[in-house]
Amino acid sequence: MNNKVPTSTQTLKGRVYLITGASGGLGHTTSLAMAKYGATVILTGRNEKKLDALYDQIEEAGYPTPAIIPFDLMQTDEDIYKQFIQSIYNEFKQLNGLVNLACYMGIVGPLGSQEHSEWQKVMQVNVNASALMSKVCLPLLQQSEQASITFISDSSARQSNAYWGAYGVSKVAVESFSNILADELEETSVVSNVFIPGPCILPLRKKTHPGEEDLGLNTAEEVAESLVISVLNNNFDTHLTH
């Protein structure tokens, strides 16, 4: 684990981060971790009830006031994404980072048993939407002296073994997209990176590894802390893999 912990709770003060999938397990803890270090977090997702609860939790902790912008990543119209980012510009006039945490697993099983509609949904949420969101965020991100786009992969799914289905394919695709984007952005103020949590206690892990003991697994809070540190240092060489 990367143990270079920030020395101040104001390390991210004045920075604005957009977090997709903020109502999910890792999205929730990452939003809290970033807010703890002084960032203003923009919470987006489909579950408004969970977003409202997270908003209240951040407020009650005394962290910077977050923003909520509900958004459905199943949308494919680029203009809708542009309008979404325009609303962020109108409110904050800046964006220092995009953290693509939204994820849809679909079915873990033989490829031949998976409905095409499920395949399309996995690819839309995990790959297409994160790629499009990254694209429309770039102009605003490039106005910052230092900005980042973060994608999440999976230490098991990325190995391309049997039965990981569309989810496994999506994680390999996301890594490839991030690498290409990073190469294109090399001479700019924006970095593109992939964060790999490794084995950890998250709802998604329960689906892929049923019956697994939690003992020895990293907690969601530990993963979120490491993710924030990686974003701070632009250092994704150390992942939480065992």
Strand extents, DSSP E, 48-158? 67-68, 97-100, 147-152
Closest CA to 42 of 59, 65, 19, 58: 19
Task: Report DSSP letters for 8-65, one per residue.
Answer: -TTTTTT-EEEEETTTSHHHHHHHHHHHHTT-EEEE--S-HHHHHHHHHHHHHTTPPP
Angstrom CA distances, 72 to 45, 107, 131, 133, stand at 7, 20, 14, 12
Residue 167: active-site member: yes
d(CA 59, CA 156) in angstroms, rounded, equals 36
Catalytic site residue from 17, 55, 104, 167: 167
d(CA 96, CA 178): 17
Q: Which amino acid is at 99?
A: V
The three-state secondary structure class of 113 is: helix
* Cα 41 off chain centre by: 12
- List the catalytic residues: 167
